[in-house]
Structure 1
Amino acid sequence: MENNTQRTEDQPSVPKKKTARRLFQYAMTAKGTFIAAIIALAIGVGAELASPFIAKMMIDDHMMGIENPFYETDRAGEGVVAYQDSYYKRSDRFEEGEAHGAEVRILQVGRGFVFVDQPVETPEGDRSFENGTLTIQTADGTDTYPARQLSKGELFSFYEPEIPGIMRLILFYLMFLAISIVMEFGKTYWLQSSANRVIQKLRLDLYAHIQRLPVNFFDNLPAGKVVSRVTNDTEAVKDLFIAVLSNFTTGVVYITGIYIALFILDPRLAAVSLFIVPLIVLWIYLYRKVATKYNTIIRSRLSELNAIINESIQGMSIIRVFRREKQTRDEFEELNGDYMKHQNKMLNLNSLTSHNLVNVLRNIAFTVVIWYFGSSTIEGAASIISLGALYAFVDILGRLFQPITGMVNQLAALDSAMVSAGRVFELLDEKGENVTDGSMPRYKGNVKFDNVSFAYKKDYVLKNISFEAAQGQTVALVGHTGSGKSSIINLLFRFYDPQKGTIMIDGQSVRDLPKQHIRQHMGIVLQDPYLFTGTIVSNVSLGDERISRERAVEALREVGADKILADLPGGFDEPVIEKGSTLSAGQRQLISFARALAFDPAILILDEATANIDTETEALIQSALNVLKRGRTTFVIAHRLSTIRSADQILVLHRGEIMERGSHDELMALGGRYFQMYQLQQGGGDSITPVIGKPESGFEASPAFGGVRGD
C-alpha cells in the first residue's frame, strides 16, 4: 500500500502572489463586513491611543502645570489661589486684556515644592533648596532665588483648581475606553463572521468542483488526499481569515496609528523609532522563506496520513486476513514520524523567532529613545520635550510591541494557511467537465461503436471496436480480465473519450451531447453495488424529486425485494450505514436493481450483476430483469456465461479486440473461443484448454466500476 505519489506534493505549484490575490478575491465576497470590521478597528485603535494623550495632558497641563508662572490678582474667583493674604492665578487662565500683578513661581524640589516670589528665568535644571534659597544649576551657570517651602495644605490650595480639569480628563478616558471595548467587539464579530462566510463559499466551490472533475483524476489522487484538501486545508485557510487576518490587520492599523501618534508627540523621536518597520518586514520575509519549505511538507504528510488511514479502513478485512497489520502500522509510523520531524523543525523556528526577537526589538527601541533623549538633554534645554510628552511617547512606544507580538505569533499560522490555500487552489485549477443545466428527451438507445480505439495512457486497451446495439437488444461482453469490457462501458458513459473512432447514440455522436444529458437516461447495476448512508428507500430514489416514495417501493417489489427484505425490522425504511455493510450481498444487489428500475433508463448496464446473488435469489429477479430490459438497450458484462444465453448479441473480447460475435447458439456452433469458455464453465472436461488472456500493461483499478480498468 505504499504511496507512490508521496513526494509529488512536497513542492507548491501555485505561486504565492497568485494565492494571495485569489484569497483577496474570496475576501471581497464579504467585503461589506470586512470594511465594517476595519472601520471599527480604526476607531478602536484611535480611542485606545487617546489614553496616552490624556495622560500627557494630565501631567503637562495639570500635574506639572503648577510650575507655569502665576500672577498676583486683586480678587478671588474661579482658578484663583489664596496664599498669605494674596490671590494668585496661573498665567494661562487670565483672559485677554485682564490686568495682573507681579509674577511668582511654584517649583518642585525633590519631593517638596517651594514658592518663589519673583520670576525665574530658567526653571529647567538641577534644583536644590537650603536655608530659604533655591539653587538651579543650568548649562549656562548657577541661579539662586529666595524661596519658601510650601506645606501640604498650601500645596493643595495651588492644586485645587486643577481637580475639575483632571476629572474631565478621567471622564474622557472612560468614554474612550468604552468606545474601544465596543469597537473591539464589533471588529472581532465582523471579522470572524465574514471569515466564516468566505470559508463557506470556498468549501462549496471546492466541493462543487470535485463533482466536476473527470473520473481519471481520481485514478491518481487517493480519496484521503482529496478529503484532506476539503477539510484540513480549508480549515487552515479559515484560521488565516479569522486569526491571522485579524492580527495582521489589527497590527498594521495599530502600528500606523501609533506612528501617527508618535509624530504628533515628537517628530524627532518618532523618526528615530522608524527603524523598527524595516526590521519587521525583513523578519517576516526571512521567516516565511524558511517556514514555507517546512509547512509544504507538513501539509503534504498530513494529506498522506489521511490517505493511508482511509485506505486502511476501507481494506481492514484484507489487512487482517493476510496479517498485514505490522506492515501497515510501520508504513503509518514512517509517515507520522516524518510529519513529527518537520513539526519539530517548525517548533524550533517559532521558538527562535517569537517573543525572543520581540523583546530584543523592544530593548533596542527603548535604548535608542533613551540615548536620543539623553543626547538632547546634554545639547541644551531647548531641545528637551516635556515630561508628559516623554511619558506618552514611552507609553505609546511600549504599545507598539503588542501588535508586533500578535503578528509574530501568527506567522506560523500565516505560512501554514498560505501553503494550504495553494493546495486548495491547485485542486480548483484542475480542469473540470462542463456542467450543463436542463435535460434532453429520453433517447431510444440505439448505440453504435464505429472503429473505436482507446488508451488510458500510451498502450491501446481497445482496438478498432465496431458493433451496433439496437433499441431493446441485449449485448453481452465476455472475455478474460483485462480484455476491455469495462473500458467499453467507460466510453459509453463518457468517463473517457476515445482517441480514434466514433460512438453514436440514435445516430448522434456522443461528443456532441453534454455528458450529463447522456447519463440522465443511463442506468447501471454493479457487481459490488454502492449504497449510501440513509434508508433502503432513499438508496433507490437517491434523493431525486422525480422518484416518489411510491415509485421506489414499487420498484423494490418488482425486483422481488419485498420477499428478501421483509424480515428487516424497519422494512423498506431500514437504516443503511456506510456502503450497506449490515446487508447481505444479495440484498444490496436487489436494492441496486430497484434503483436502476426506478430511474427508467434507456440504456442499462449490468456489470456481472448476478455474480454475488445465490441461485434462489437469482431466480427471483430473472423475471424482473426481463421486465427491466424490455424496450431498453442492455449491456451485460458477464463471467458466468449461463446468464447471457438469451442475449441478442455476444461480443467475445481478447486484448482489446472483438474476436467473435453472434448469439449463444451461433458462437457454440462456431466452436471457437466462446465455445471453449462455455464448456469449461459447464464442466466439459479437463481436455478443454482454458483461454487465459494476459492483461496488457497499463491496466489499473478503475474507480468508475470498482473493477479492473481495461476489463
Structure 2
Amino acid sequence: MSQNHQEDNLGKAYDSRLMARLLKYAKPYWALLMISVLLLVFIAGVDLARPYLIKIVIDDHINVYNTPVLVFNESPDDNQAVLHEGKYYLRIDDSAHLEQGQETAHLVRYEQNTYLVENYVSLQGKSHRIDSVDDEYILHVEENQTYPAQRLSREEISLFRNSDFIAIRQLSIIFLAIITLGFLLNFIQVYILNYASNKIIYEIRQQLFSHLQSMSLGFFDKNPVGRLVTRVTNDTETLHEMYTNVLVNLFKDIFLLTGIVIIMLRMNVRLALISFTVVPIILLSANLFRSKVREVYREVRVKIAGINSSLNENITGMKTVHIFKREQQQFDEFDKINEEHLIANKKQIFIFAIFRPSMEIIRSLGMALIIWYGGAQVVGGIMEFGVLFAFINYLKQFFQPINDLTEKYNILQSAMASSERIFALLDTEPEVTNAEHPVEIKGLQGEIEFKNVWFAYHDEDWVLKDISFIIRPGESVAFVGATGAGKSSIMNLINRFYDIQKGQILVDGIDIQDIPLDQLRKNIGIVLQDAFMFSGTIRDNIALNNRSISQEEIEAVAQYVNAHHFIERLPGKYDEPVTERGSTLSSGQRQLLAFARALAFDPSILILDEATSNIDTETEELIQDAVTKLIKNRTTIAIAHRLSTIQNCNKIIVLHKGHIREMGDHQSLLQKQGIYYKLYQLQYKESLLPS
C-alpha cells in the first residue's frame, strides 16, 4: 500500500494578484480593520512611552545630585523654590541657564550622606571628597578647589527632594495608567481583529463549501476527498493566521521600529548610530534563516500530510487490516512515516535552535556596544544615565519586531500558497451548469427519452454508445447487464450529474439541459447501492433536515417501505442517534432508510440503483412488497444485478458494452434466449438443475 503525499510548493512569499483577491474578502470589514490599525498606533505609543518615562524618572527626579541650584534671598516666582535657613533654593535642569553673578549651590551625595554645597561646580569625571573640620564640612575638588558644605538632615533632605517625591509618585501613577491602557487597548485590538478575521474566514469557508456543493460529480472523481477537506480546513486556517498576525499586526512592527529609531536619534544621534551597526548582521542572519527554514517547513508539511493520509487510510480500513492480520505491517509503515516526520521536525528545531540564540548574541553585541560607549559617556558627564537606560530598553524592543517580521514572512509565504490553492478551487467552474435561459417547471409527469446518446467519462472512451429509448410516465423499467455495461451511467445522466457528449436526453419532452438543476433533481428520488447515512438521528436521515417534512410524514413513509417496525425497536426510535456512516445499522436497515428518504420527498421519478444488492432475503421480501406499492403512478427505473427484483417491471433493457442489445418484458426476453436469458440462467442455474 504505497502512498504519495506530495505537497504543493510554497511559492512566492508575496503575490500582489492573490493579495488583492484576499483583500476583497476584508473589504466589508475595513472599518474594524482600520480601528484595529489605529489601536496599534496607540499600543505602539504605549510601548515606546514606558522606557521614556523611566528615563525621565531617573534623570529628572532620582539622579539630581550635582545639578545646579539657584539661591535667592527673596522668594522667586517659581513655586518649586525651597525655603531653607532664610534663603530660597530653586533647582534648574541645565547649567547653561546660569547667569553671571548668580548665587548658586548644589546637592552632593557622599558616603551615604547628602550635602548642600555653596557655589555650583560640575563634579562629572572629577575626583572629589568631603572632609569635616571643626564641625564644618568642606568639598575638595581635584585637590585644589574647596567649597563650603552643609550636611543635611533627613527632614532637610525631604524638604529639598519633596518635589521629586511628588513627581515620582505622579509618574508611577502615569506609568501604571499607561500599562493598564496598553492592556485594554491590546484586548480591544485583539478582539476586534480576531472577530473580523474569523468573519472573513467564515465567509471564505462558506463560499468554498457552497462551491463544492455546486461542482459536478466528475470533479470529485478527479480530486481526492482529503485534498478538498484540506482546502476548507487547513488552508483557510493558514489564511486566518495571515489576517491576524500579518495583515494588521505588521503595522505595529513598522510603527514600533519607526518610533524606536526616531526616539533613539533624538536622544543621542551617535549612540543611536552605534546601536544600528548590528542591523546589517541581523538582516543577513534573518535572510539566511528564512531560506533554510522554508525548505524544512515545506518538508514538515509533506510529512504531516503523509501522517494524516496514513491515519485516514488505516482507520477507515481497520476492518480489512484485522481480517488479514496486517497490524504489524501497517504499524511498520506508519512508524516509517512518523519517523520521517520526526526527522523533519528535528531539522526545523535545529535551525530555530541556531537562529534564536544567534539573534540573542547579536542583540547582546548591540548591548555591549551601547554599554561600552554609553557607559563612558555617562561617567564622563556627557550623557545622563537615564538616556543609557532608555537605549538599552529600546534596543531590546528593536529586536522583537525584526524577529516577528521573520516569522510573519513564513506565515505570509504559507498563506500565499494556501490562497493560490483556494482560488484555484474557487475558479474551477462546474462542468454541469444551468442553461442561460432555463425552462421553469413546477413538476414532472415522468416521461424520459434518450435520443442517440453518447457518453464518456474521459475523452472518447465511450461508456454509452448511441443509446435510444423511451420510458412512459408511470412505467417501471429495469436496466441489466454485466459490470461496466453502462447501467449506473444512465442513472447519472438522468440526474445530470454528468453531461453527455452527443445526442439528447428529454424529460417530459424538455431537454434536461434546459431544466434548472434544482428543479430537475427535486423531482427525482434515488436509492443507491451503498446507502449513505449522516451523523444525526433516524429522523434527520429520512428528512435530511428538511423541516417542512412532519413527523407524521416521516413515520408514514417509514411504514410504507417497512422500516417502521425496526425503527420502533430502537431505544430512541426516530430519535435514535446514527453514528458516522450508520455503522451501528445493518446494511438492510440502511437500505430501508434510504427508501424512506427518497419517498419523503415524493419524487415523480424513482431510481433504484442496485438498491437490493446488499439486502438479506428477509429484508428483500420487505422491499419487494414496498417496491410494488412505490411504482404505482410513478416512473421507476431499476438498475440491478439480481434479476429477481425486476421481473415485474414493464420493460427490461439489456445493456452490453455500452449498447442496447435487448428490450422487452421478462417473459419475452427469456423466449429470445439472448443475453438476458444467459444472465438469468447464470443466476438461477442451481434451481434449474433437475433434482
Deviations, residues 657-687 of structure 1 (Å, cap 9, x unaligned): 2222233233223222222222222218999
User: Do the aligned residues in 1 keep the contact of 2:439 with 2:515 (CA within 8 Å)?
Assistant: no
1:41 and 2:33 aligned: no
Which residue matches 1:389?
387
1:643 and 2:642 aligned: no
Residue type at the aligned position of 1:151 = R
1:540 and 2:539 aligned: no
Which residue matches 2:205?
203
Per the alignment, in what secondary structure is the counterpart of residue 88 of structure 1?
strand
Which residue matches 1:703?
none
User: Do the aligned residues in 2 keep the contact of 1:224 with 1:311 (CA within 8 Å)?
Assistant: no
Residue type at the aligned position of 2:363 = R
- Cα displacement (A) at 1:70: 2.9
Per the alignment, in what secondary structure is the counterpart of residue 647 of structure 1?
coil
Which residue matches 1:495?
497
- Distance in 2 (CA, whole Å) between partners of 1:574 and 1:52 is 64
Q: Would the alpha carbon gap of residues 22 and 103 (structure 1) be closer, same or farther in structure 2, given more than 3 Å must change?
A: same
User: Do the aligned residues in 1 keep the contact of 2:37 with 2:248 (CA within 8 Å)?
Assistant: no
Which residue matches 2:397?
399
1:148 and 2:144 aligned: no
- Distance in 1 (CA, whole Å) between partners of 2:626 and 2:120 is 117
User: Do the aligned residues in 2 keep the contact of 1:106 with 1:113 (CA within 8 Å)?
Assistant: yes
Which residue matches 1:212?
214
What does residue range 141-540 of structure 1 map to in structure 2 within 5 Å?
144-153=144-153, 158-242=160-244, 248-274=250-276, 283-354=285-356, 356-370=357-371, 373=374, 384-405=382-403, 419-432=417-430, 440-458=441-459, 459-540=461-542
- Cα displacement (A) at 1:524: 0.7
Per the alignment, in what secondary structure is the counterpart of residue 210 of structure 2?
helix
Residue type at the aligned position of 1:126 = K
- Distance in 2 (CA, whole Å) between partners of 1:214 and 1:430 is 11
- Distance in 1 (CA, whole Å) between partners of 2:14 and 2:98 is 68
Unaligned 5+ residue runs, structure 1? Answer: 137-142, 688-711
- Cα displacement (A) at 1:480: 0.9
- Cα displacement (A) at 1:520: 1.4
Which residue matches 2:135?
none
- Cα displacement (A) at 1:129: 3.8
Q: Would the alpha carbon gap of residues 290 and 448 (structure 1) be closer, same or farther in structure 2, given more than 3 Å must change?
A: farther
- Cα displacement (A) at 1:119: 5.8
User: Do the aligned residues in 1 keep the contact of 2:70 with 2:91 (CA within 8 Å)?
Assistant: yes
User: Do the aligned residues in 1 keep the contact of 2:282 with 2:362 (CA within 8 Å)?
Assistant: no
Which residue matches 1:2?
2
Residue type at the aligned position of 1:11 = N
- Distance in 2 (CA, whole Å) between partners of 1:467 and 1:15 is 57
Which residue matches 2:621?
619
User: Do the aligned residues in 1 keep the contact of 2:538 with 2:576 (CA within 8 Å)?
Assistant: yes
User: Do the aligned residues in 1 keep the contact of 2:13 with 2:413 (CA within 8 Å)?
Assistant: no
Q: Would the alpha carbon gap of residues 388 and 528 (structure 1) be closer, same or farther in structure 2, given more than 3 Å must change?
A: closer
Q: Which moved more, 1:672-681 or 1:37-46?
A: 37-46
- Distance in 1 (CA, whole Å) between partners of 2:233 and 2:325 is 32
User: Do the aligned residues in 2 keep the contact of 1:12 with 1:422 (CA within 8 Å)?
Assistant: no
Which residue matches 2:672?
670
Which residue matches 1:581?
583
Per the alignment, in what secondary structure is the counterpart of residue 216 of structure 1?
helix
- Cα displacement (A) at 1:553: 1.0
User: Do the aligned residues in 1 keep the contact of 2:491 with 2:609 (CA within 8 Å)?
Assistant: no
Which residue matches 2:49?
50
Per the alignment, in what secondary structure is the counterpart of residue 524 of structure 1?
strand
User: Do the aligned residues in 1 keep the contact of 2:13 with 2:409 (CA within 8 Å)?
Assistant: no
Per the alignment, in what secondary structure is the counterpart of residue 648 of structure 2?
coil
Per the alignment, in what secondary structure is the counterpart of residue 70 of structure 2?
strand
CA-atom RMSD in angstroms: 3.8
User: Do the aligned residues in 2 keep the contact of 1:483 with 1:654 (CA within 8 Å)?
Assistant: yes
Q: Would the alpha carbon gap of residues 149 and 15 (structure 1) be closer, same or farther in structure 2, given more than 3 Å must change?
A: closer
- Distance in 2 (CA, whole Å) between partners of 1:205 and 1:391 is 53
- Distance in 1 (CA, whole Å) between partners of 2:246 and 2:46 is 23
- Distance in 2 (CA, whole Å) between partners of 1:98 and 1:270 is 33
Unaligned 5+ residue runs, structure 2? Answer: 132-137
Residue type at the aligned position of 2:90 = K
Give the TM-score of the pair, scaled to structure 1: 0.83
Which residue matches 1:62?
61
User: Do the aligned residues in 2 keep the contact of 1:114 with 1:149 (CA within 8 Å)?
Assistant: yes
Which residue matches 2:560?
558
- Cα displacement (A) at 1:239: 4.3
What does residue range 107-126 of structure 1 map to in structure 2 within 5 Å?
117-118=118-119, 120=121, 124-126=124-126
User: Do the aligned residues in 1 keep the contact of 2:70 with 2:104 (CA within 8 Å)?
Assistant: yes
Deviations, residues 573-609 of structure 1 (Å, cap 9, x unaligned): 4332222222222222221112222211122111122
- Cα displacement (A) at 1:428: 3.8
- Distance in 1 (CA, whole Å) between partners of 2:230 and 2:401 is 32
- Cα displacement (A) at 1:522: 1.0
- Cα displacement (A) at 1:639: 1.0
Per the alignment, in what secondary structure is the counterpart of residue 166 of structure 1?
helix
Q: Would the alpha carbon gap of residues 274 and 638 (structure 1) be closer, same or farther in structure 2, given more than 3 Å must change?
A: same
- Distance in 2 (CA, whole Å) between partners of 1:233 and 1:99 is 75
Which residue matches 1:71?
70
Number of residues of Structure 1 aligned to a counterpart in Structure 2: 673
